[in-house]
Amino acid sequence: MKIFLSLLLLIVASISLLHAENWTTDYKAALAQAKQQNKLVLLDFTGSDWCGFCKLLDKEVLSNSSFKNFLAKNFVPVTIDFPRGTKLPDALVQQNDTLQEQFKIDGFPTLIVVDANGKEVGRTEGYQPGSGPKTMIDQLQGFIKK
């Protein structure tokens, strides 16, 4: 039992470290913050504990310092997670399921940019391993200019 609890704590801790400290899971609060700061919102639909391409995106792009700097200047980032090995609070599961349906998410990872009113501005689906932060920054900059 102690091993199980230790393993569970390790999984929960690793998920909380998945993204930089500025990521939130509260979609409505992110929209309000985006409105206040005149930014867009970046939604990361992920399967943090099981999706291989999601893990690569996090490792190669989302945790990169140049990407984090770009993100902080332009976006309020939100993690919309669908883990298989970790139980999320019921309210968060409900929010994430609603957003998955609203934005018609077919696979992970999917990054969606929305304005402060929640209107989709652009999306990128999947991740090409090795493409790195510059490619993602270029894609997201295209959405900023819209």
pLDDT in tens, 95-127: 999 999 999 999 999 999 999 999 999 999 999
Sheet order of strands, 40-46 included: 75-81, 40-46, 110-114, 120-125
130-138: average pLDDT: 96
Q: Where are the beta strands (DSSP E) in the chain?
A: 40-46, 75-81, 110-114, 120-125
Beta strands 120-125 and 75-81 are unpaired
- Evaluate whether 47 touches 81 at the Cβ level (below 8 Å): yes
- Please check the confidence at residue 20 and state whether its pLDDT lies above 90: no
Query: Is domain 22-144 classified as CATH 3.40.30.10?
Result: yes
pTM of the model: 0.86
- Evaluate whether 56 touches 129 at the Cβ level (below 8 Å): yes
Alpha helices in 58-131 (DSSP H): 65-74, 90-102
49-63: average pLDDT: 97
Q: Which pLDDT belongs to residue 22?
A: 87
